[in-house]
Structure 1
């Protein structure tokens, strides 16, 4: 029997976060995936550079790739520096890949990266989410709920 996975992933240093994804999508399920990186990409990420604002993940065959993520060239890299927007292979278990593939193809869901971070062992990881896009009305509802919670906290602060 497999060891149960921890509910939250142990994030040590967050490099890039896609905060817009939680507003644009209903997050259904999250996965932790390793990234196949070149040496200069790791050094650039350790320096705090990198962006996943407009990136997404796609399943090709039995592999998952992170597309359109930007890791700028390492400043002290030589001629063997990496390409900034190349597709990067994500390292996942086979059953996770099949689950993602079925959800994307049958249910019309999207694979959205939520954040790139280094775990406690120093490995670069991506938190991927299976997400369904929100409609305009849902986004308005989210804004309204957020404003009400902010006002509620302000009222409680004044009274207490």
Structure 2
């Protein structure tokens, strides 16, 4: 139970930090990187379960920070990234990780993308090792130290 509480607390803390920066997180690079991150977390184990796809899509639609963008546009970008990952996971992952890297130029946006990955991964109470691994890889793509996020 302690692990569940820690995951929930971490996701809650990340969401609070994101809300504090909401007005700064309006660029196209942040939007693209965030949707790529959501797709990577949803497909972290190499498959995309329909229930998980729906859950992540719902989280995207209801996340206050992402309300800076049109919901239909976010959903389309999320689905495009998922399509890349389902067509060929290894090749798709390279392409989707390049989308994540778009936020590298602005450290606040880069950190926010990682925080979104943690929020999405921890939303079901199980930020599993595969999800942690893709978020850790995203840290490297964004030039951020994974230990900053307890990864």
Scaled by the length of structure 2, the TM-score of the pair is: 0.24
Larger Rg computed on CA atoms: 1
Scaled by the length of structure 1, the TM-score of the pair is: 0.23
